[in-house]
Structure 1
């Protein structure tokens, strides 16, 4: 199993340029690029060709673009702007040879009935799928484990993806999002892993479901998520492609990014090597 890192892990104490060099130094295989901010910052002082050249001449490769945010249940004007952003992401994906874009459902305190949420998600994902097909890009729906998220459980995400029924539409399986709203191991067993396009690994402090936030994430193995049984199921499902670390902890942002990158790899390897063959790269 290969190892990646989502840039949320070093969001406030690093840059795309530094992340790339740190991940290369510590033998990571992949980076998930934050197109919503870190890529834009990078392009203020670099060209896209600089980034292309880096990936051509180094081991670390791009795994995904993150993210098209709040894609469903939008106004006509909001959706028009969203499509423009998405089309730009597709062009970046093309030149950077990235085949996965994360799409994040709406988070809102407004109450919306599930049927309306599902209808919007299916319609939008179908259109986005059509636009992505010529680029060879897959869309990974990331359910968000929070009460205000319109898609906040694994089972609902699976239901939506099954309704869309497109080869290039699947999900992100994130251990924090899974735990945060009481998705179950049975839900995971019932998941079609050919539709798991991204696997995010992390852990969390011992808070009650429904109140956890991204900031509560900790290194894998340092929290209360049942990673043992989750990884047992993932192994049984024969998913061995990658695990990508995604943390948003303010405490870690106070550290030097190199310490976070190094520690994240060490702790994640300790968890993964109990189940998968992980090649240690220096």
Structure 2
């Protein structure tokens, strides 16, 4: 239904949630998914997400590698060549340098595995105080240290706002390293207090979307934007209404800066 309504309302691309993909494949095949994209205007853009990739024990990391392999294999069939990867929360008393070293190490290993399939990794910081990588600047520094063609960053407006990421860091970023751009908005809560359930439609909250969009335009980014919300209230809406509203509010937010 998500695919069909996104196609109906003119979305160009969709990020496929890992959990929903596995649920879909309980009753369908990868060939069914390929057939949908082959016969539709909408195309797959990225898988979202491999979560908590750093500071894992052997069992936990083996599961990350297993899911990476699974997504690479599905992606090779449906032509989906990006995977969002997310750092780990509540890691204890590691220094910023130790966090960078561990995250760089893991990204190199996962990127090596993905490269054989022509797949790129989009590293997403999370704007919560307990996330090991929680600002754009910190995440971008890690991506620069990895220094690989198939590793870039996810810019999410909510996460950028939630921990006061610096606009100067975005102004100095290479637009080619922004692999995925998530648009969203949020309620007006203090720094450190915001969580996913506080996200609202683009333009309906307290995030300064204009300054982010203007900066992206100025540095030369113009690839894609993906609306990503986790407001439980919206999940209770009729599905088509939610998908249509996401399209309309996103277009309204970006049209001043992008055609």
**TM-score, shorter chain, exceeding 0.5:** yes
In 1, Cα distance between the equivalents of 2:59 and 2:27? 32
In 2, Cα distance between the equivalents of 1:264 and 1:211? 24
Aligned to 1:67: 49
Please tell me whether residue 28 in structure 1 is matched to residue 4 in structure 2: no
- In the alignment, structure 2 segments of 5+ residues that lack a partner are none
- In the alignment, structure 1 segments of 5+ residues that lack a partner are 1-17, 278-282
Cα distance per residue 1:44-79 (max 9 Å; x no partner): 111110000000000010010011110011112321
- Partner SS for 1:141: strand
Please tell me whether residue 192 in structure 1 is matched to residue 159 in structure 2: no
Cα distance per residue 1:210-240 (max 9 Å; x no partner): 0100010000000011111111110111211
- What is the CA distance between 1:109 and its match in structure 2? 5.8
In 2, Cα distance between the equivalents of 1:80 and 1:242? 32
Please tell me whether residue 249 in structure 1 is matched to residue 244 in structure 2: no
Aligned to 2:115: 133
Aligned to 1:230: 212
In 2, Cα distance between the equivalents of 1:83 and 1:269? 36
Aligned to 1:122: 104
> Alpha carbon RMSD of aligned pairs, Å?
1.0
TM-score using structure 2 length = 0.98
Aligned to 1:177: 159
TM-score using structure 1 length = 0.90
1:186-225 matched pairs, under 5 angstroms: 186-225=168-207
In 2, Cα distance between the equivalents of 1:113 and 1:75? 19
In 2, Cα distance between the equivalents of 1:76 and 1:45? 31
In 2, Cα distance between the equivalents of 1:177 and 1:62? 23
1:70-109 matched pairs, under 5 angstroms: 70-108=52-90
Consecutive aligned runs of 4 or more in structure 1 exceeding 4 Å deviation: none
